[in-house]
A and B are shown apart, each in its own frame.
Chain A
Amino acid sequence: MSLARPLLAALLSLPILASAAPVVSRLTPPSELFASGAPSPVIARFLPDQRFDLQATIQPDAGQTVTSFEFAVDGMPVKVASERRGIVTQGLVKGLPENTAVVSVRAYAHGKPGLHTLTVTATQSDGQRANAQGNFEVVPLLARNGKPARNIIFMLGDGMGATQRTAARIMARGYAQGKARSPLAMDTFPVTGMVMTSSLNSIVTDSSPGMSNYVTGNKAANNQEGVWPDDTVDVFDNPRVEYLAEYLHRKHGKALGIVTTADVFDATPAANAVHTANRGHGTGIADQYLDDRHLTGLAVLMGGGRKWFLPNVADSTKPQAINGSQRRGANDYVLPDDIVAAWGAAKGAKDPQRDLIADFERAGYAYASDAGTLRQLAGKADKLLGLFAYSNMNVAHDKIGGRRGTSNIVAEYGFPDQPMLDEMTAAALDVLARQPKGFFALIEGASIDKQAHLMDSDRWILETLEFDRAVQVAKDFASRHGDTLVIVTADHECAGAAIIGAATVSNAQLRAKVGTGTAAEQRDQVVGVYEAAGFPRYRLLADGYPETTDIDRRMLIGYGANADRHETWLTSAQPTQDVQQPFVGQAPLNAYPANPTLRNKDQGFLVTGQVPGDQAVHTATDVPLSAFGPGAELFTGVYDNTDVFFKMARILGKSR
């Protein structure tokens, strides 16, 4: 009897011959070469010696484990100390095969310009290997004619597209026979280009990659900042890419300033200093501002968000130690040892009871809790922490109303003395100007976006005005200091805002139409298009803001990325779009709106939205970027938001 068939069957039953090879399911930095096999476009780009993590997800065969791994660049193995290498098999996302391993080499850097191949080879316990290839580029620091910059002031109007800028100009400057009577501060910048804003995973970005892409030179995914996606559950262990502020501080000793009208843990400010896959982890984000100041050179941090800096003392007894803290261990941070060793980052701890204000003060930061304190610190602080609100600061419309005594919103919130963004910018630059090696400053007008989401036209226009006044402060600084580049841009456009025309009726007539709830009354008899729009004329008071936004023949704004809304065209008395809140009290349930998610129902006419939900959304539209100062000429044309990073680095030069 022949033994061939039984022998062959026995051989085929051996695992080594019956199994597939292990699989590399993710390779970081991301590359189109790995994703599709195409060598371009090159997704990951870096400055010479800019640090970034290498990472791969290895799925072994059933019953096997990953026993070793090696990264190679251009065929040369990446040799690093063992403490910078990591292999993680626990705490992975669901759906991965058993024994999947996430392997890392932390804080890699490559100094040679050019295109490079990245390969990973992983071995499983039966000796079989998996490998995959990607690529990345190191962009050379090209010389340019002209003096290098020492400082960069990066002014970001969140959600500020071309419409937002134009509407602010119409309101604040007015037009005469087609000519703007005077320009906005941002209009006076000599160079303007257009920026493509998409994120790593969508044509429509959010504010996390919207900022992160500018200051890392690399695409981040929505909701993530300073990191790439990975397959672990922990949001602070993702593979990192070095921020511009970290690079400049490490290489040149520059300082970092962060000023925002939002809660300071929000995406735009955080995406300059904190690496996380979840923009919502407030406790960990706030902590890392301080804990990693040796990496970023943080000298100024101002905005709202006091709630993250207050100790959450557990197990308190009566009277309860209520202080408004929102700190929780669940969104705090503890970093893995390989990141700590390779990046020099603080380990962290789950410490909701931490008094972060006190820790900032012990670290030498002067603390300002309101505008008055901020003024008192002028010229006296080497480092500055300003926390002016519980969460987001109140919007300009309401802050100005508080100063004029025409609104009590800021008092209702309990923060009656909040600074304006131009005042915060001046205070920040006062500190940063005294930094010995120069600085990078992020100044954000955060609520242009937030109010555009709410389709509250008057409030986002005033937010843009407030932002422009801060732009003037920055420009004046740059004019006095010839070594300062000022950039004005946005992370994305919000709401698809459009200036559709102006009202053909007076404010009193608009008010008389409230409650009619019909397009025939509130649209057809109101909206003036083309020549019927004319030139809306707003009167500014000495404080630089309109006396009122409820003028006769007011400017009208439409939205292309809108949710359903009822439009009255009138300014909301309260910081939402509801014109009036009828007192319901003990009324029976049938007095409530039939569909309570529709605002101003029975007040205004229904405008059907293109998006679900209550709010307008971001758009993928390119945004304008304006530049002033040394190197501004590099910002003409149409370019990607990641390109801005390399332009800024080139303007700063090799060492200052």
Chain B
Amino acid sequence: MPPHLRPRTLLVLILGQLFIALAAEAAELGFGEMYQFPIGAHGLRPTAKLLALDGHQVHLHGYVAREEQPVSGRLILVPVPVLLAGEDEALADDLPANAVFVHWSGGRFAPPASGHLGLTGTLRVGVAEEADGRLSMIRLYLDTAQTFNALGIQH
């Protein structure tokens, strides 16, 4: 084994290949599989599965966070129903740390302001600034054609 390939790195690579193989179709990803829980004293620690699925098709089930001031072309998917009260709370909110920011463009996709959804798209892992000033850690870019077909939406 090359000296620079430490056991931990090998494990990540093996797991990554396994997940990629399983994700030939969209891989199922649960909110409990994104970060090591409980959350660490110094912040979030992504799981190997999450990192391995970066850039791949995933399928997520979750609740649409209800936003007082929604951002066009984006919704936030969360493991439990949440209402974000922007005017009185600013960012002192009840949004869980493992929220997924879902983006799409084009089409006539009018998502519900609340409710439970199953969505498929390309997963992106990494820090990005959203239009409302939040920083997202995980984003899902919808395959709008596939999503619209699945939801029976004309586009």
Contact = CB atoms under 8 A, between A and B. Distances in A.
Interface of A: 206-207, 262-263, 265-267, 279-280, 282, 304-307, 310, 312, 314, 316, 318-328, 330-331, 357, 367, 369-370, 373, 390-392, 409, 411-417, 449-450, 453-454, 574-576, 578, 581-589, 592-593, 596-597, 599, 613-615, 618
Interface string B73-90: 000000111110100111
Interface in B99-130: 110, 112-118, 125-127, 129
Contact of B81 (A279, A319, A581): A581
Contacts of A369: 40-41
A324 B39 contact: yes
B92 A453 contact: no
A413 B110 CA distance: 28
A330 B129 CA distance: 11
Contact of A414 (B35, B85, B153): B35
23 contacts: A207-B88, A306-B39, A320-B51, A320-B125, A324-B43, A325-B135, A326-B134, A326-B135, A369-B41, A391-B94, A409-B80, A412-B79, A413-B80, A414-B35, A453-B88, A582-B116, A584-B115, A584-B117, A589-B152, A592-B115, A597-B66, A597-B113, A613-B68
A390 B114 contact: no
B132 to A, nearest CB: 11
B11 interface: no
Interface string B56-83: 0000010100101000000000011111
B91 interface: yes
The prevalent SS among residues of A at the interface is loop
A261 to B, nearest CB: 11
A412 B80 contact: yes
Contact of A614 (B39, B66, B127): B66
Interface residues of B, number: 56
Contacts of B42: 310, 323, 357
A236 to B, nearest CB: 15
Contacts of B110: 589
A506 B49 CA distance: 47
A589 B44 CA distance: 35
A450 B85 contact: yes
Given A324-B44, A325-B135, A391-B93, A596 B115 contact: yes
Contact of A411 (B37, B40, B152): B37
A415 B97 CA distance: 10
Contacts of A453: 85, 88
A589 B153 contact: yes
A322 B94 contact: no
Contact of A322 (B83, B95, B125, B153): B125
A392 B94 contact: yes
A280 B127 contact: no
Contacts of B112: 584, 592-593, 596
Contacts of A618: 88
Given A578-B81, A581-B115, A390 B46 contact: no
Most-contacted residue by chain A among B54, B127, B152 (CB, 10 A) = B127
B98 interface: yes
A331 B151 contact: no
Given A414-B38, A614-B66, A323 B44 contact: yes
Nearest to A331: B133
Given A319-B46, A581-B81, A265 B133 contact: no
Contact of B127 (A316, A581, A583, A599): A316
Given A330-B133, A367-B41, A390-B97, 11 more contacts: A267-B92, A305-B92, A310-B43, A320-B126, A323-B44, A324-B44, A392-B94, A589-B153, A592-B115, A613-B68, A615-B88
B150 interface: yes
A497 to B, nearest CB: 16
A581 B81 CA distance: 8
B137 A450 contact: no
Give 3 nearest A-B pairs by CB, closest first: A323-B43, A280-B90, A369-B41
Contacts of A316: 126-127
Contacts of A305: 92
Nearest to B147: A586
B116 A585 contact: yes
Nearest to A387: B41
Contacts of A322: 44, 46, 125-127, 137
B65 to A, nearest CB: 10
Nearest to A310: B43
Most-contacted residue by chain B among A322, A574, A614 (CB, 10 A) = A322
Contact of B152 (A263, A310, A326, A588): A588
B104 to A, nearest CB: 14
